[in-house]
Amino acid sequence: MALKLLSHFAASQIQLVAVLTTPWNPLSGAPADVVQEVQEALGGEECMENAQSAIEVSVSSGLFMSH
């Protein structure tokens, strides 16, 4: 269902692949207090600058499951 939804919003499969694999920082533009709270939860700054793609985030969070 998620793939159908994603493909509905992409003009082509190339565009869909580009969006899903482009690295981004989920904390980009977040307020400083939110960034600090996440940093404290992670236990340091080393994880703060790691950009991830949408596919990496879904796999690491357990949202990506095969049937």
| Residue 67, pLDDT score | 47
Residue 66 burial (CB count, 10 A): 3
Across 6-35, average pLDDT: 82
Average pLDDT, the chain: 76
pLDDT digit string, tens, across residues 46-57: 666 678 888 787
pTM score, whole prediction: 0.50
Considering Cα of 46, then 40, then 43, then 41, what sign does the dihedral take?
negative
| Residue 31, pLDDT score | 93
pLDDT digit string, tens, across residues 25-42: 878 888 999 988 988 887
